[in-house]
A and B are shown apart, each in its own frame.
With several copies, the nearest count.
Chain A
Amino acid sequence: IKKFLNSPKDAVNEALEGAFAAFPDHIEPIDGSPRAIRARAAKPAGKVGVVIGGGAGHEPSFLGFVGPGLADAVAVGNVFASPPPDRVLACTRDAHRGAGVLYVYGNYTGDVMNFDMAADLAGAEGIEVRTVLTSDDIASAAHDDRAARRGTAGNVFVFKIAGAASARMYGLAECERLARKANDACHTIGVAMESCSMPDTQRPSFKIGEDDMEFGVGVHGEPGVTRVPIESADRIVDQICDRIFAEMQPRPGDRVAVLVNSLGGTPMMELLILNRRLRKRLEAREIAVHSTLVGHYCTSLDMIGASITLMKLDDELTGLLDDPCDGFAWSFSGRRPS
């Protein structure tokens, strides 16, 4: 596997430097650390701070979702590794505008431990912190064990809703409620054709047979829940839809937001082919699509694969989703109710 890299151990910091150079209107380091990052835009006093974060290797996640209408700060770890508490704490202090801070991040052992330690430290400083763990990956645990599920590309929608709520100057409890509601509404399944390779090893993390793919993968190059034979794009979407519909129990007239996400190495052309079938399946169920994102939103280094997320919308979530936002990976001028 060949990559554009210098010393592997510098990869994350170098990528962040490259991001600061590229997106100076959106992000800047907090106190000079490239691993604790704030939105450039001014944040009003009394606004709930939204802090997100996680390991590197998911670019443009998570730093692309920092800005007005999105998160206020992001803590970045090593590749696929949670940021340590000190960095999360730096973000927390920076994001705090007197109204407390909401943490939104994926449900992983490492992240939970590090963010919880940071929350304890912040609490000791008098900053109230609430936490919403994202857990949209429905393949990763059974329906009745939602709390065990991991957070994947659905993150993006949860960040958006939390950011919109905070931009509307809602209080901490309300922001938390809405972020939790957004997470509950998100359903993701990922599939991978080929594993990714870490900067450090530059070898595929695991091997998938010539004719196989992994069904139910996360965004860390992990194997999926099952290994199955590769099928056509349409059949893959069908399998994903069957699983999501079984969980989401959509009814005719329901509305969803869609994210068709590349895990890194899969190009947009293929994502669009997936979206075509997805739309047909949704139409057949009379599910309306409110809006669609297609592209590289939450990647797993160079993994060849894709994920589909459906967020079931009600009026409240729709309104928040339609608010404007401006992160470098999601810039949207907003949509007025029609």
Chain B
Amino acid sequence: MSSIDSAFLIAVFRRAADRLEAERQALCALDGEIGDGDHGTSMANGFAAINDHLRGMARQEATPAAVLRDAASTFLAEVGATVGPLYATAFLHGARLLEAGDLDRQQIGRLVVAMADGIKARGQAELGDKTMIDVWYPAGHAAIAAAAEGGSPAEVARALRMAAEQARETTVTMIAARGRASRLKERSLGHLDPGGASAAIILAAIADTLASAA
């Protein structure tokens, strides 16, 4: 089986960038309801910048860890914001994992959880705080479980995608305890977490890349 290499990651970033661009306004609208309305802008612009940057990289030579490190610094410098440090740290944690040794594509869940750990380390959110980690962790764990049960890449991809979608919906029932929306207290109830929504988009891009490469 093939491992998570640069080409795979580059394909993920391309796919995610396209979809975030398509959902730019929808994500801004979600963020407008309980935040400051910029989430779609940050995510779409940030991933577009990663994409532009990766296009310029000598693809052959870059290790997958290097791709993630570059994505981290590009994203951070482009958007700053709340998501900048969070995703930059996520990518760096992912890079560290891949530096430790090649990771089989089926083990994508481990990369997802590593990234979630990065987000958590940086943002200090707990599960249930109505943040993006409420989507990253369940999705990662579902993918790990599917792989552990011997699922095919397509099955792992399906598990990842489904879990992300479900987890995104659960954020509706949470009261925000981190980030801007936390000032709204109960008023954040009944709304999707925008960071959770964009997380689901990125996770779907990972899943689809896994499924289509398989």
Contact = CB atoms under 8 A, between A and B. Distances in A.
Task: State yes or no: do A and B touch (Cβ within 8 Å).
Answer: yes
A82 B80 contact: yes
A150 interface: yes
A80 interface: yes
B82 A82 contact: yes
Nearest to A226: B187
Contacts of B36: 80, 205, 220-222
B80 A78 contact: yes
A196 B80 CA distance: 21
A200 B81 contact: no
Interface stretch (A65-73, A106-114, A166-174, A248-256): A106-114
Interface stretch (B40-48, B103-111, B135-143, B150-158): B40-48
A73 to B, nearest CB: 16
Interface stretch (A83-91, A124-132, A261-269): A83-91
A81 B180 contact: no
B42 A109 contact: no
Contact of B183 (A141, A204, A206, A221): A141
A78 B184 contact: no
B213 to A, nearest CB: 32
Given A110-B85, A113-B122, A201-B25, A86 B77 contact: yes
Interface stretch (B26-34, B62-70, B159-167): B26-34
Contact of A84 (B25, B31, B32, B84): B84
Nearest to B77: A84
B168 interface: no
B25 A87 contact: no
Contact of B81 (A110, A203, A223): A110
A163 interface: no
Given A80-B38, A206-B32, A222-B184, A113 B85 contact: yes
A134 interface: no
Max chain A Cβ within 10 angstroms of own Cβ: one of B35, B36, B123, B187: B36
Contacts of A80: 36-38
A200 B23 CA distance: 13
A165 B205 CA distance: 52
Given A86-B77, A200-B28, A78 B82 contact: no
B38 A78 contact: yes
A3 to B, nearest CB: 14
Given A78-B81, A81-B80, A113-B122, A205 B37 contact: yes
Nearest to A141: B183
Contact of A78 (B32, B41, B76, B86): B41
Nearest to B75: A84
B179 interface: yes
B180 A108 contact: yes
Q: Which of B37, B79, B80, B178 has the most CB of A within 10 A?
A: B80
A202 to B, nearest CB: 10
Q: How large is the interface on A (under 10, 10 to 19, 20 to 34, 35 or more residues)?
A: 35 or more
Nearest to B40: A200
B44 to A, nearest CB: 9
A117 interface: yes
A87 B182 CA distance: 27
A150 B183 contact: yes
Given A80-B38, A198-B28, A206-B32, A109 B123 contact: yes
A198 B41 contact: yes
A108 B37 CA distance: 15
Given A84-B79, A117-B85, A200 B183 contact: no
Given A78-B41, A220-B36, A110 B84 contact: yes
A148 to B, nearest CB: 8
A78 B37 CA distance: 12
Given A79-B38, A79-B41, A113-B123, A84 B187 contact: no
Interface in B163-179: 178-179
B24 interface: yes
Contacts of A220: 35-37, 180
A243 B10 CA distance: 51
Interface string B1-42: 000000000000000000000001100110111111110111
Contact of B32 (A85, A150, A221): A221
A223 B36 CA distance: 8
Nearest to A200: B41
A85 B180 contact: no
B78 to A, nearest CB: 8
Given A79-B41, A205-B36, A225-B185, 9 more contacts: A82-B84, A84-B77, A110-B83, A110-B85, A198-B37, A201-B25, A201-B29, A204-B32, A222-B184
Interface of B: 24-25, 28-29, 31-38, 40-42, 45, 76-86, 122-123, 178-180, 182-185, 187
**List of 8 A-B pairs having minimum Cβ-Cβ separation, nearest first:** A205-B32, A81-B81, A110-B82, A220-B36, A205-B37, A84-B80, A113-B85, A80-B36
